Structure 1
Amino acid sequence: MKSAVGIMKQTTLPLVIADFKEITKVRLAVSVVFSSLAGFLLGADSINVTHLVLLALGGYCMVGASNAYNQVIERDLDSLMNRTKNRPIPAGRMSVTMAMAIAVCMTLMGILVLYQINAKTALFGAISIFLYTSVYTPLKTITPLAVFVGAIPGAIPFMLGWVAATNEFGIEPGTLFMIQFFWQFPHFWALGWMLHDDYSRGGFKMLPTGKKDEGTALQIILYTIWMIVISIIPVFGFTGKLTLSVPAAILVFIMGMVMLVFGLRLYRNKDNISARRLMLASVSYITLMQIVYVVDKFI
């Protein structure tokens, strides 16, 4: 009997942990935390380790809460799509009540933790949750403009780090916001292209033209160009304390051009393989670009 109970605990605990990671989208949350920490390092005159840890914890809570709310709201639609039907709620492994409890607890914890850094950081974190759950999520089945709305909370983390480090909002965090804002369009439209059929089953309108066509591919190219332009603006000295050396700007420009090449290939081929390559290139770009910015500051 004891051995049976032991086996059940061994099989249940990993499932509980796995479902918690799924309901909070741990990989996405970690990438968002990475952006916040990069912004913090760019803004900080000296590294406050306590604030760095609080930012990581509070940032994870805010992203986890947003994703949990999202999965509660979209639980019926998630059951229609192959990529989401095995999520904890539609698969029946987690109740709506439990998911809401996780979301509420993480919201309160996230705001409280970020408030320990400063009030502005907590405010922007709360705004991010509100926009993601109350505006972006319901708009996804109504209009492709949802992507524009979703790009706002998605762009906050990079900016949030600077605000956490300085307790100030100005041209510097505004520039970081714009970089990540424009980056999201080619990234999510490439993802939307790949998963267009699945998204359509759930009623989501993710592509700007509603189709996998030249219009969508052209917009991907245009937003990628804007992303590249904004990413190198700090080299010209227009962005206050946020600066970029010429060698770093050249490196960021080259990385952006590589991403643009993948966008041009999607325009030419109009296939899922090209969309996937663009999506992966966009993930590499945002990560490497932030690393370049941080390394450039400290060398």
Structure 2
Amino acid sequence: MLNIPKLKNQDSPQFLLMAGPCAIEGRDMALRIAEQIVTITDRLQIPYIFKGSYRKANRTKIDSFTGIGDEKALKILQEVSQTFGIPTVTDIHESDEAAMAAEYVDVLQIPAFLCRQTELLAAAAATGKAVNVKKGQFLSGASMRFAVEKIQETNPAAPVLLTDRGNSFGYGDLIVDFRNIPEMRSFDVPVIMDCTHSLQQPNQASGVTGGKPKLIETIAKAAIAVGTDGLFIETHPNPAEAKSDGANMLPLDQLEALLERLVRVREAIL
């Protein structure tokens, strides 16, 4: 399993789970979500990384929610890690954010639109933290080997993960090409399937991204069946009230039953 500090259940045969809210909206909400997911993943022996963006830089409209303040959100992520003994992951958007975020989290995530940004990848690698690179919606899985090379050549000790989140399909939809999972696994790095962002419906006329959350389980089952190492799921107690990406998030009260079913799928293919 991944060499990430504080990662629980490293010898578990189960898939890795990255899960949490799209954005850090406040301390109490983050801790409440983390506590519920930790309880579930401990019982199911699923290695878990708490996910939360400290800032949302890629928004459709100028007045869209971007965050509660960088330092405030990063300190909440740090508190989640310290409270529950779990690693955390957050996005970075500019090279100078890498060192700042690395003081608080265990995994630095490169957004899909930025996966070709050499300086950003190098800055993340230079911190020595694990780097999770989202595959661009405009790229094949095979082309992601260059992102891996940029990180590994900058810092061979930095763990690398790749995450698929679908490919652009026309102007307002995405489609998942499951050939990308084995292609990216051939680079000898763990591959994660983003089961929520891959169901986005971007570029809507309203300026608010849509989604198809009813298909989260379908994407997750298919990804496990073709050998993904982990799943990425954004979840919220009430997605309709979420300040970011609520249209494609999984209601938190549905997560436990979903993971139980996914564990059985995983066990069936081992």
Structure 1 and Structure 2 fold alike (TM over 0.5): no
Q: Which one has a larger percent strand, Structure 1 or Structure 2?
A: 2
TM-score, normalisation: structure 2 = 0.30
Rg comparison, structure with higher value:
1
TM-score, normalisation: structure 1 = 0.28
